[in-house]
Structures are given as C-alpha cells and as structure tokens.
Amino acid sequence: MTRAGSAPAEHRERAAALVRRAGAPLALAVLLVVGTAAFGDGFASARNAGNIALDSSYLVLIAVGMTFVIISGGIDLSVGSVFALAGVLTAYGAQWGSVAAVALPLVVCGLIGLANGLLVGRARMAPFIVTLAALLFARGLAFAASQEGNRVHLIPADLALTRIGQARVLGVGAPVLVALVVFAIGLVVLNRTRFGQAVYAIGGSSEGAELMGLPVARVKASVYVLSALLAAVAGILVAAQTSSGLPTIGEGRELEAIAAVVIGGTLLTGGAGTLVGTLVGVLLLKVVQNVINQIGTLDAYYQQLASGVFLLVVVLVQAGLARRRTGGGRGVPT
Amino acid sequence: MAEHAAAPPPGGDSPDSPDRPANGTPTIEVTDVSKHFGGIAALDRVSLTLLAGEVHALVGENGAGKSTLIKIITGVHPPDGGSLRHRGAEVSFGGPRDAQAAGISTIYQELNLVPQMSVARNLFLGREPRGRLGLIDTAGMHRAARQVLGRYGVAVDVRRPLGELGLGVQQMVAMARAVATTGRGASVVVMDEPTSSLEPREVDRLAEVIDVLRADGVAVLYVSHRLDEVFRLAQRVTVLRDGRRVHTGPVAATDRLGLVAMMLGRRVDEVRAHGRTRFGEAHTGRAGEPVLRASGLTRRHALSGVDLEVHAGEVVGLAGLLGSGRSETARAVFGVDPLDSGSISVAGATARRWSPAAAIAAGIGLVSEDRKAEGIIADLSVRDNIVLAALPRLTRAGFVSDRRCDEVVEVFVRRLRIKIADPDQPVRDLSGGNQQKVLLARMLCLHPRVLLLDEPTRGIDVGAKAEIQALVDELAATGLGVVLISSELEEVVEGASRVLVLRDGRVVDVLTGDGIGEHQIMSAIAGASDEPGPAGDG
C-alpha cells in the first residue's frame, strides 16, 4: 500500500510529454514519406501540395481560434455554423459591394462570438451548452438568409473581393496566404502578449488567475470573439473562392477543428498547447485525407477512420498525463 | 535572523487596546467587521490592526473565521458591516484586483499559480515586462525572474513548468510573486499557512524573506496553526474563535499554554467537573488483538510515523489542533489520502491496495468532519443517503432490492432515534444532529468493526450532541472500536479511554485512565517542554 511519487512515474510523464509534443509531427513526417514512396509524383508534386494547402487553409483559420478557446479551458462548437453563416452573409452583402460583403459577416459573427463570450465569461455558463446554442442559432440564421437554401446569393465576378479572393501570389492562393498571416499573428499574440499569457493562465487555473488579479471574464469573452471572427474570415474566403454562399457547408467543421487542435497536443482541459501543434494537426488530418484519396479504391470513410485513430491515440496519451497529475497530486490537509 | 523578534510592548494585552510598537503606523485597520453566510455569522464584529513592519499572527481553530477575515482584507468578500481602512483611508475593494492594486498581496494555502506555465511566467503573470510593440520581452522576463528568485536563494531554471518543481519551490515562487507585486507601494502581505508544504530548511528561508519584508515596512499577516512559527516569527498575535476575536497581544507576553487554551476556548486554571457530556464510564475495550492496527503512518507534510491501535469496544480519542494530524490520520486509515509509508491491518489482515472501498470491505467506517461536502447528499432522501454505501450488499443480480433497503433503513432510524417524518424526505430538511445520525446509520449498516468519527458533534445543538455522545457509548458497548476526533476537549476527555495527542503530524503523548484531562491534553499540544516566548534564535 505504499505509494510514493517515484522516479519511474516522472520518466513516464516525460515520455508522455514527448509523445504529446513530437507525436503529431512524427506521424506527419512518416505519412509524407509513405505517401511519396507509394504514389511518387502523384503525391509529392507542387500541384498536390497546393491542393493540400488550400484545403487546409480554412481549417487552419478555424483551428487557430479554437486553440485559443481550448487553451483557455473552453470549447467552441459554433464555428462550423458561423463559418457557413459568414459565407452566406458575404454573398448576401456582395450586392452592396466588397466592403459590405466583408463587413456584414464580420459584424454579425463577431456579435455571435461576443454573446458566446459574455455568457461563458460573465454569466459563467458552460461553454459546451452556450456554443451548442450558437451552433443551432447561426445555422438557422444562415438558412433564413438564403430562404432555406432555396436562394443562393452569387458574388459578381467583377467585385474586388472576388478578384482578391481568387488571386494567386507565386502560385499560392489567397486563402493560404491569409491563413499563414493569421497563424503568424496568432503565434505572437499567444506567446508574446499579456493577453496570450492570460489565456494560458485561465485555462491552467481559472481560480488562480482570478486571485492573481487577471481579467478573467474579459479574456474568456475575447477568445470566443476571436474564434467567431476567424471562422467568419474562413467563411468569407470560401465565398470569394466559390463566388457563392451556401448555408449547408461546414457541418462538422467544429469537430474537425477540435480534433486538429487536440492531435496537435493541446490539452482539452486547458492550460497547455501550442499553435504550431495545431498547424501540424490540421496538416496531418488533411494529408491523411489526401493519401486516402490517392489510393482511390478506398472509400472516403477511411479518412475519418484514420483521423479517429490518431485522435484516440493522442487522447489516450493525454489521459495518461492527467492521471499522473491527479494521482500523485497534493492532498489538501483539512 | 529575527534579532528584534518583538518590539517592547508599551501597553497591556487587553483585546480592546492592542498595543502598538512605537515605530508602527497602522497599515490596515479592520474595525467591527462582520460577515454572514446564509444566516450564519462567520465573523462577528472583529477588529484587527496591522502595523507597518510587523508580523501579525492570526490563529484559531476550524470555523474561527480566519479565512473569512483574510478574504475581506484581500477583497474577495465584501464585509456585511464594519469598516476597512488602508493607510488611513477607508476602502472597499470590488475584488482581489482592487486589493492588489492597493498593494495587498496574498499567498493562499492552495497555491494560486498555474502549474503548466513556466516559473518566470507565473512570477510575472499580468505584469510581464514589455518591449517594442507592447510584446513581452521574454529574455528580460527570464533575467528578472532569476534576479527576483535569487534574492530569496532559489536557484531554478525559470523556464521550467512550475508544476515540475517541488512544492517548496512552488511556495517560494508564490511568495516571490506576492512580494514582487507589492514591491511598488508595498504595504501588506497575507500568508495563509505558508509553511504547510515546506521543509524546515525552506521555513528558514521564508523567515529570511519575512525579515526583508519587515525591514521594508511591509505588514505581514501570518496565518498558521504551527505554534512554533508563531512564536518564532510574529511580534503580535490575534486569536479568533467562533467568528469572534478573543485576544490580541504581543507574542512576548503570551505563553503557549495560554494561547492553546484561548484557541480551544478554555482557561488554563479552569478545572471542570466531569459530567458535561453524555459519555458514560470509559470503554477500555476488550483484551486480545486490536481490531485496527495502523503503524508508522507517514504522508509528506501531514503525518510522520503515527501509530494507532483500537481494540473492540474501545473508544480512542485523537486530540490536537487543526492540522496536527487528527483528521489526516482518520483519512489515511480510511484510504482517502495515499500514504508514503506505513501499514494498516484490520483484525490481523493487511490489505494490499488501500482505498475507501477496501477499508469499507475490511470493516472500517468514517464519518467525515465535513458533513456538507463529504457526507450527506442533501437532495437525496434519508433512505437513499442511508443505504448509499451499503448498496453493493443490498443488490441482487444488479438490481437494488427495495424491500431489503427498507428493512435496513427502518432498523437504523429506530436504533439511532433519527427524527424523520418519512424516509423519502430529503436530508436537507433535517436538523444538523439528525443529518449526523443519518451519516452514522450509513456507516453502521455496513456492520463495521471500527468507526472513525471526525468531529461528530460539530455544528449541532446541545441536545443532539448529547444524543450522539450517548450513541457512541452504546456502539462501543456492543463491541465496536471507535476512534473519536473532537476539538471539544471534554468530549475526548470523557468519551475516550485512551487519548493520542498529535502535533505536527506526530503523536506527542498518549494519555490513559486518570492521566486523561484537559490540562494534560493542552500541555501536550502546547509542547510544554519547549521554552515559551519568542525564540529569537540570534
């Protein structure tokens, strides 16, 4: 019955932390090698890389916001719907020009994020429920704005937004560039600003952060606004790419984003995680999809199956970590 | 290190005119502050003055109001009545942020840091040094962190996650953070049990830090149940009991026994007659093998080498101050807190993996001191509360047998004289005494051989107390081994046939027979062998 905090436990924790940090990049590297070996130029070509990058860019935008939310100890289920709503509003606003096409979705989605944030941060409601409500609300709004999907708003081809959205710089599409810029800004904000540090602190110990005098409610509210705005940017870019706004897109995007964030090593319980990990997580998901597409004979279901396995492995490792933490944790003498 | 352990006391130690060292100006003045929670007074017109450059110890037992008072000073709770003055000006804090902005910092017992973040980030959270573009200057922060910690002799890699470091180091980081926060316009540092997870060497270092603070004119409010530290570090001491202030005075003019007596609500010279409880004659227990034998119970910072033996039919008392290891012993025996070392055997059998489930299976029952948090489930019915722990035994093929539950509930409601209208009424509607009986019933229907009772009569009225005491007697008479923990000395004195006195996680005295008395217990708690008064240790 002797149970003492011992060296093996520490080693195990180190190993688990290593897997958490390096596991996803390693899996990605293996996957790239295997893909190249198996499919040669069909896989390892600039064109295919461009496809993967474009495909990943929307998810990167959403997942960057999700990373902030999850590190703060929350969750945002509404981003898939907000993504679709933003697309619809972009197409709807395009009738008044490019500025309206961008401003309308940003304002509406920003307000949805603000509502989420205030309910979670100030009213202290559970993020799962609040953002589930927002998921339904935003999807409903997207359908209402397009008369239950019967009316598809089209974005005129001569609009500045269309031209910018479909532009390519050095062969790289605008969504990819936007995603890269947002990612870079996100890195700086999360790691080098007081706001970013507060996000970590709140996720690590909300009560501790409060007692340390950090503006907990304000920071919590901010991460949901950020998440909604980034989902909106992704929606705007999709609309610009496709010249239309469809209310049906983005279903399950929120779960895909959560999966990418967790595969990237961010703890679902909050307090720890990195944006670089999230980027790797997104790429991993997308490369798996791409490889399975290459095989051709395999059904698309295998994409989800493979993603599921990755997610499970990561979560198992995290659970091992968490158990080590609470098991040997300090008891509170009464 | 503390050459001037106490300033010469110019006045007496009457609670109404706390003396002031000549150099001290009041930093915090708490005047007649009251605080109620749900109709219960946690603080009743308490006054406290903190002087610049003094260490003021705040002591008291459970429920004395220490935490509430701290939280009022640090802005967590607004007071219901009375006033709070900071540097002469009346203040009302909207939250911890306001208090911190005013220069009042707190080191809570529960470390309020973020274990996943690095040491440096924890130190500077919310006030990180910023360079160009308002971005955090990471290198500068690390440098500053090393410098700050270096002042207190802590040499660690400031980039490591805080959680990977020992609790002592974490505590020092919390300390450094608090001190650094008050560095600009420093005024007050509140330390809530700062040494509960420190090694002796680290306590010495803390004492040095406190000296630095005092020299800077900071007022330190030092909450501790370790009397050694109170006498070593503090110049004045305030005793709270049941939400009231019972004493404020210079430590130099206070002796240990007197302090313990005030905390427990006793007077040293008072020798009371027997018969204040409903305990009958002492139950010395049956001869032969002890039914419970725990030896060498050790848990870091909580217990060191506690031995406990209980015979069938014996009532063993555990006495000591809050945090002395009373409840910790009970929790260890019941398998709630893991042990670092030690062994527990029931009726000669030792379990390999100890847990509450294993303890129950072996025949140990615990009625926890925190009835609300760890005991009753307020919204469930009396019936469900009673059969909760016994459900595995009342279940056949996965289904709970209602008939057998009803039988069990009926037997114990009658036997323990639980006053209820209906077994299906929610437990929250019952009085405290009856709730306690429900908890007793829950443990008794498991047919335990040993029952651990942690403060079984706290917070219940006098009549119910007497009933519970009589019940304990009856149970012991039927051959149950009982471990009785109580901060009411007369309960331990009259109820137990053997009393273990604990201090700092150790059994410091074992009293038996006529040797059991309030005075003997208090002397053992106070550590009468140590010399009284402040230990200047110069």
Task: Report the CATH number at residue B316.
Answer: 3.40.50.300
The answer on B3 and B95 residing in a single domain is yes
- Confidence label for B283 from pLDDT (cuts 50, 70 and 90): low
Query: What per-residue confidence (pLDDT) applies to B110?
Result: 64
Among B261, B250, B251, smallest CA distance to B228 is for B251
Question: Cβ contact (<8 Å) for B341 and A211?
Answer: no
Q: Rounded distance, CA B5 to CA B537, Å?
A: 9
Q: Does A332 touch chain B (CB under 8 A)?
A: yes
Question: Cβ contact (<8 Å) for B136 and A194?
Answer: yes
Question: Cβ contact (<8 Å) for A271 and B126?
Answer: no
Does pLDDT of B284 surpass 80? no
Question: Cβ contact (<8 Å) for B339 and A198?
Answer: no
Does pLDDT of B6 surpass 60? no
Contact present, B500 and B316 (Cβ < 8 Å): yes
The answer on B285 and B326 residing in a single domain is yes
A–B CB contacts, 8 A cutoff, strictly below = 110
Q: What is the DSSP string of A167-232?
A: -EETTEEHHHHHHHHHHHHHHHHHHHSHHHHHHHHHHH-HHHHHHTT--HHHHHHHHHHHHHHHHH
- Confidence label for A229 from pLDDT (cuts 50, 70 and 90): very high
CB contacts, 8 Å: B225 with chain A: none
Question: Cβ contact (<8 Å) for A205 and B136?
Answer: no
Question: Cβ contact (<8 Å) for B113 and A208?
Answer: yes
Q: Kindly list the distances between the CA atom of residue B59 and the CA atoms of A267, B124, B178, B251, B411, in Å, as whole numbers in the listed order.
A: 40, 31, 21, 12, 44
For B136, nearest residue in chain A (alpha carbons): A192
- Confidence label for B181 from pLDDT (cuts 50, 70 and 90): low
Q: Rounded distance, CA A33 to CA B286, Å?
A: 76
SS3 call for A164: helix
Q: Rounded distance, CA B142 to CA B150, Å?
A: 12
- Extended beta strands in chain A, E state: 168-169, 172-173
SS3 call for A161: helix
CB contacts, 8 Å: A4 with chain B: 340-341
CA distance A78 to chain B (A): 28
Question: Cβ contact (<8 Å) for A213 and B196?
Answer: no
Q: Rounded distance, CA B20 to CA B24, Å?
A: 6
Comparing CB atoms, the residue among B112, B167, B323 nearest residue A333 is B323
Query: What per-residue confidence (pLDDT) applies to B275?
Result: 56
* Domain C-terminal end among B145, B163, B181: B181
Question: Cβ contact (<8 Å) for A1 and B351?
Answer: yes
Does pLDDT of A11 surpass 70? no
Q: What is the mean pLDDT of residues A306-310?
A: 78
CA distance A28 to chain B (A): 26
Among A260, A309, A289, A314, smallest CA distance to A59 is for A260
SS3 call for B284: strand
Whether B266 is covered by a domain: the verdict is: no
CB contacts, 8 Å: A213 with chain B: 96-97, 100-101, 126
Count of the separate structural domains present in chain B? 4
Chain A interface, best mutation among B114, B121, B295, B297, by max A CB count within 10 A: B114
Whether B108 is covered by a domain: the verdict is: no
Q: Rounded distance, CA A174 to CA A58, Å?
A: 11
For B197, nearest residue in chain A (alpha carbons): A330
Average pLDDT, chain B: 81
Contact present, B173 and B161 (Cβ < 8 Å): no
Chain B interface, best mutation among A202, A207, A211, by max B CB count within 10 A: A211
Question: Cβ contact (<8 Å) for B96 and A210?
Answer: yes
Whether B537 is covered by a domain: the verdict is: no
* Domain C-terminal end among B164, B181, B198: B181
The answer on B332 and B464 residing in a single domain is yes
Count of CB atoms situated within 10 Å of the CB of A93 = 27
Query: Where is average pLDDT lowest: A261-275, A314-328, B180-194?
Result: A314-328
Whether B351 is covered by a domain: the verdict is: yes
Does pLDDT of B160 surpass 60? yes
Q: Does B160 touch chain A (CB under 8 A)?
A: no
Q: Does B126 touch chain A (CB under 8 A)?
A: yes
Query: CB neighbours of A133 closer than 8 A, spacing ≥ 6?
Result: none
Q: What is the mean pLDDT of residues B279-291?
A: 70
CB contacts, 8 Å: A191 with chain B: 136
Contact present, B1 and B49 (Cβ < 8 Å): no
CA distance B111 to chain A (A): 8
The answer on B99 and B191 residing in a single domain is yes
Q: What is the DSSP string of B402-437?
A: HHHHHHHHHHHHHHTT---S-TTSBGGGS-HHHHHH
Whether B259 is covered by a domain: the verdict is: no
- Confidence label for B535 from pLDDT (cuts 50, 70 and 90): very low
H-helix segments, B307-399: 326-333, 356-362, 382-387
Q: Does B82 touch chain A (CB under 8 A)?
A: no
* Domain C-terminal end among B400, B431, B447: B447
Query: What per-residue confidence (pLDDT) applies to A152?
Result: 74
HSE of B249, CA atoms in CB hemisphere, 13 A: 17
SS3 call for B229: helix
Comparing CB atoms, the residue among B126, B301, B339 nearest residue A3 is B339
In the structure encoding, which two tokens stand for residue B41, read together? Answer: 């007074």
Query: CB neighbours of A293 closer than 8 A, spacing ≥ 6?
Result: A300, A303
Whether B261 is covered by a domain: the verdict is: no
CB contacts, 8 Å: A325 with chain B: 163
What is the per-residue pLDDT across B439-449, written as a single tens digit (0 to 9) for each? 888 888 888 99
Question: Cβ contact (<8 Å) for B115 and A210?
Answer: no
Bridge partner list, B512:
B498
Question: Cβ contact (<8 Å) for B101 and A192?
Answer: no
Question: Cβ contact (<8 Å) for B96 and A213?
Answer: yes
Lookup result for tokens 């037992």: B61
Comparing CB atoms, the residue among A1, A192, A332 nearest residue B353 is A1
CATH 3.30.70, domain A21-323, yes or no = no
CA distance B82 to chain A (A): 24
CB contacts, 8 Å: B344 with chain A: 1
Q: Which of residues 205-234 of A touch B (CB under 8 A)?
A: 205, 207-215
Q: Which of residues 360-389 of B touch A (CB under 8 A)?
A: 369-370
Task: Indicate the angle between helix axes A216-242 and A46-71, nearest 10 degrees.
Answer: 160
Among A301, A275, A254, A190, smallest CA distance to A59 is for A254
Does pLDDT of B15 surpass 60? no
CA distance A191 to chain B (A): 8
What is the per-residue pLDDT across B210-254, written as a single tens digit (0 to 9) for each? 888 888 888 999 998 788 889 999 999 999 988 899 999 999 988
The answer on B39 and B4 residing in a single domain is yes
Query: What per-residue confidence (pLDDT) applies to B95?
Result: 82
CA distance A215 to chain B (A): 8
Question: Cβ contact (<8 Å) for B343 and A1?
Answer: yes
The answer on B423 and B401 residing in a single domain is yes
Comparing CB atoms, the residue among B126, B342, B351 nearest residue A194 is B126
CB contacts, 8 Å: B485 with chain A: none
The answer on B125 and B52 residing in a single domain is no
For A200, nearest residue in chain B (alpha carbons): B117
In the structure encoding, which two tokens stand for residue A258, read together? Answer: 């959560």
Query: What per-residue confidence (pLDDT) applies to B184?
Result: 53
DSSP B374: I
What is the per-residue pLDDT across A241-287, written as a single tens digit (0 to 9) for each? 888 888 989 888 999 999 999 888 888 888 888 999 999 989 988 88
| Contacts of A126-134 spanning 24+ positions with Cβ under 8 A | A127/A69, A127/A74, A127/A75, A127/A76, A127/A224, A128/A75, A128/A77, A131/A75, A131/A76, A131/A77, A131/A78, A131/A224, A132/A77, A132/A78, A134/A77, A134/A78, A134/A81, A134/A82
Whether B348 is covered by a domain: the verdict is: yes
Query: What per-residue confidence (pLDDT) applies to A329?
Result: 31
What is the per-residue pLDDT across B333-375, written as a single tens digit (0 to 9) for each? 998 888 888 889 888 888 777 888 888 888 898 988 777 667 7
DSSP A13: H
CA distance B133 to chain A (A): 10
Question: Cβ contact (<8 Å) for B302 and A197?
Answer: no
CB contacts, 8 Å: A267 with chain B: 116
Does pLDDT of B320 surpass 50? yes
Ramachandran angles phi, psi of B244, nearest 5°: -120, 155
CA distance A131 to chain B (A): 26
Q: Which of residues 255-274 of A touch B (CB under 8 A)?
A: 267, 271-272
In the structure encoding, which two tokens stand for residue B117, read together? Answer: 């973040």
Where is pLDDT greater, at A87 or B395? A87
Q: What is the mean pLDDT of residues B521-531?
A: 72
Domain that includes residue B27, residue range: 1-103+185-254
The answer on B379 and B345 residing in a single domain is no
CB contacts, 8 Å: A329 with chain B: none
CA distance A111 to chain B (A): 27
Among B190, B257, B248, smallest CA distance to B223 is for B190
For A271, nearest residue in chain B (alpha carbons): B116
CB contacts, 8 Å: A271 with chain B: 114-117
Query: Where is average pLDDT lowest: A59-63, A180-184, A283-287, B46-50?
Result: A283-287
Whether B262 is covered by a domain: the verdict is: no
Count of CB atoms situated within 10 Å of the CB of A90 = 30
Bridge partner list, B192:
B223
- Confidence label for A323 from pLDDT (cuts 50, 70 and 90): low
